[in-house]
Amino acid sequence: MGDADSGLTVKDRHAAVYIELRQRICLLDYPPGAQLSEIALAGEFGTSRTPMRRVLARLEEEGLVQSVHGVGTIVTDADITELEQAYRLRVELTGLTGQLDPVAPDTVFLTQLQGLIDRAAQMIVSGTPRSFTELDMDVFQTLLHLTANEPLRQVLERLYYQTKRLWLVKAIKAEVDLQEEYGIFLHELQAIRIALESGDLMAVAQIQRAHISMSFNRLRKQSAI
C-alpha cells in the first residue's frame, strides 16, 4: 500500500480500499470463514473504524462478507448451490453486452487484448491458480469496456466478483484440470480477438456467454464427484 495519494480525492481512496479488500477476498487471501477486524483494517489503511465500516457495509451488500453484532465480520462461504442463480444470471447478462450500447474497440484496446493473450499463453507454461485468476480479472475488466451501458457494467461486475471465488476454491483443492482450463481460456481469448477484428461485438458477447456457461458446468461436474 504505497500511499501515493497524489491528486486523489478522499472518495477515491475509499474506493481503492474497497477494491483492495474485494481483491483479497476473491483471491482467497481472506478465505471463506476468515474474520476481518474493523480496527486492524482501519489501522492498516491509516484511517479509523467509521470509514472502514462503510467499506465493509458495501462488501456486505455485495455478498462477500457478513457482519454479525457481537461476533465479527466474516467472509462468506463460496457455495455453488447458493451462487448458481447468480451464475446463470451472469450468463444471460454477458450475452446482453453485445446488444446494449456496444463499443467498437480501438487500436489501444486490441493491443491490450494481445497482451492478455500473451499472458494466457504463458499460463500454460507456468501458471498457478492464483495468477490465472488475476489474469481472468484483468481480462474481465478489459472486456467490460466493450459496452457503454453503465448499469449493465455495474451489475456484471457485481456478479463477476460474487461468483469468481468458486473456481479458485476448487482449483486450490486440485479439483479442476488446470491445463485444460488454461487451454480453454487461451482458445476463448483467441476466438474473441477474431470476432473483434471482424467487428462483430454480438459474436464477442456470445463467445463469452458460452464460455461462462461451460465453465460453470465444469465446476458443477467437479462438485458432483
Could you list the residues that contact DNA (CB under 7 A)?
Answer: 10, 14, 35-39, 47-51, 53-54, 67-73
Would you count residue 89 as binding its own copies (CB under 8 A)?
Answer: yes
Would you count residue 81 as binding its own copies (CB under 8 A)?
Answer: no
Q: CB 223 → its own copies: shortest distance, Å?
A: 20
200 binds, among its own copies, DNA, none (CB under 5 to 8 A by kind): none
Q: CB 91 → its own copies: shortest distance, Å?
A: 9
Give the footprint of its own copies on residues 103-142 (CB under 8 A). none
Q: CB 28 → DNA: shortest distance, Å?
A: 19
* 82-90, 111-119, 170-178, 201-209 -> range binding its own copies (CB under 8 A): 82-90
Contact pick of 86, 172, 178, 210 for its own copies (by CB under 8 A): 86
Would you count residue 16 as binding its own copies (CB under 8 A)?
Answer: no
Q: What is the 3-state secondary structure (H, E, C) of the chain?
A: CCCCCCCCCHHHHHHHHHHHHHHHHHCCCCCCCCEECHHHHHHHCCCCHHHHHHHHHHHHHCCCEEEECCCEEEECCCCHHHHHHHHHHHHHHHHHCCCCCECCCCHHHHHHHHHHHHHHHHHHHHCCHHHHHHHHHHHHHHHHHHECCHHHHHHHHHHHHHHCHHHHHHHHCCCCCHHHHHHHHHHHHHHHHHHHHCCCHHHHHHHHHHHHHHHHHHHHHHHCC
